[in-house]
Structure 1
Amino acid sequence: MRSKKLCAAVLAATLGFGFMAGAPSTEAATRAELAQISVNQKGTNFKYWNKDAKSYQALTNYVKDVTNPKSKNFIPVEDRIAVFDLDGTLICETTPSYFEWMMYLERALNDPTFTPKKEDREYAKVVKAAIDKGSLPEDMERKEAKSQASVFAGMTLPEYEAYVKKFMQTPAEGMNNLKRGDSFYLPMVEVVSYLNANKFKIFVVSGSDRQALRILTDGIMPIEKDNIIGTDVWNLASHQGDTDGLDYLYRKDDEVIRGEFTLKDVKMNKVSNIAREIGKQPVLAFGNSSGDGSMFNYTITNNKYKALAFSLLCDDTERELGNQKKADKMRASCEKYGWIPVSMRDDFKTIYGDNVTRTK
């Protein structure tokens, strides 16, 4: 139950990330520049794709086919639904881990204005060690989501938004001239623009926090905030305490604050959320990992329309922090299930712009 003065004080304090001093300025495409990326309806002005790539040809041939009223595969505008994962599909996920996971570690381990619960601090250390090792246990997805929700619980929505925006300004670890909030893949921003020009309704369906997703994608791509689906936490009234929402009346002096974890939006949960929140089967799906597998298969299985699923392969180890072993595993899954592989190494002319390089 915080006064507005206290909320303002907390907001001001939470913006002081200790490692920001001396951070390099970015020379990558800025958010404003990313927002200007535009591909026309015919797809004649793609800049960042190799036009002879099978994935590029599959996508553009598909869109031309299903938007042609004379084609037997024509899809009415109201049913042109495309779903995109975020991390590793639209934005980098290896600096050295997901945006929201790194922000969680900052909050739990490095933020001098915040004292986490002992169990959250200790688990954050476990997560950091796993990231440093490059191996995330299967059960970490759920446990990290619960701990992450806990360290941000009690924040008002504007406070959390300010925290996310500040963290977006931090350097993308492992890359030169790139900020975390600017680390969108230029070729994939083009895909979103191209689909939007062809009247596809575009959704982000991600394992990341829904509010963080709304902030990260805002102004970058033509995706409405209503079309963001992600991992959720409870939102509560600031004076609600433990009172059930069925028994509480929002007060004039209340603010909406973040609460505890409710649902991790990965794997089959993505399908459940798509069915509940979109209410239609997608005809296009884009992802990059096993966490997107159910979404892929749901899109292309028993669909009344022609449908495709595309999976990015993290096979670029020169321009991006790729992992060939993971890429090979995903390519094998593509062959097994009928997903279309997208080689970041071979199919993209650039990823972030040529002035963005690896630090090692």
Structure 2
Amino acid sequence: MVSRRQVLMTGGASLILLGGGFGAYVGTRSVAKAQAPWKQAAEGFGDPRLDALAYAILAPNPHNRQPWQVRLAGDDSFTVYCDLAKRLPYTDPPNRQITIGFGAFLELFRQAAAEKGYRADIEPFPEGEPEPVLDERPIALVTMVKDPSVPRDPLFGAILNRRSTKEPFDPRPVEDEIFAKLQTLAFAGQSGSSISLATTSDADRVAKMRALSWDAWKVEYETPRTQKESVDLMRIGAAEINANPDGIDLGGPMMEALRLGGVISRKQLATKGSNAYETGITMYEEMLGKTSSFGWLTSPGNSRAMQLQSGVAWVRINQAAAMLGLAMHPVSQILQEFPEMAALYDRYHDYVAVAAPARVQGFFRFGYAATPEPSPRWPVESLIMNV
């Protein structure tokens, strides 16, 4: 694996001189503005609806697109819509992953509302389930009802600690007893859910899943339109991240140095054979190679309602993992529904013995790693639609 130091050295003589003023400059580049919504959620607004929405926007979602839009009604209700410009037409053609993100958004809202003593009455797809893609119809109608008896969710306290850890993990596998605790925490109070989680730390199964994951990642990376979709959404350096706190953030001193030294740009990331392009391959290969445990989320069908339910389970598993000190990272390329992925999609479903109409809705790495910084977010006020 090429070290970060070696990556910097290959960028030219200017990057060798990372001491002095240049090194000091890149060390001062902050993304605090883009991360401010995490702090704002903890502080609140003094309005129960906005307070709960401040937690909802921290939900995991594909490519960090944050596609939610909210139209407020009265003092206690709102309708949730999809910002159609934030769909992923190449890697997520049917908008399945985007819909799962909305399930996570609604679940965090429900938890945060309960913490304030409100019941969140959620009506999914009040005008029908949009097919074959999401459209202008609403995702959900939500009403807050004051209810002192509403139970607080034990996972609420983990919202601010939830992460998708896109780094190599410690090589030790997750113990079976930890996975059992994860199941208990994530699905507590979810007796009506039809979504299930399977996990494994078996060395042979993990090796097979690593190989399938690697093959799938290469398909996405080497298919021009799907790779470009990701590259176009990359925010390189603090200035871009703060200006557009969504998409795939590439921040920190190393990225600032690479950007300023002319080593990394969207053009270079998209150019096969470039240092930036090849380093992306090497880094992801190392990350997958240091994975000793996997989990996958299965639904009995694939309706829009079940996709929302999968999002509920997804974020609850992520919260439970945070409470247990586990790192979690979705590696769901193999579940994407574009033609070049079809053979691997079928092979993976055969391997985990999931047959239609059931399907795997999420595939994850689990392990142990340092907790990364929170992902950038748009502030709550940016998602409120004008009447």
Q: Larger % of helix: which?
A: 2
TM-score by length of 1: 0.25
Greater relative contact order structure (CA < 8 Å, 6+ sep): 2
TM-score, length basis structure 2: 0.24
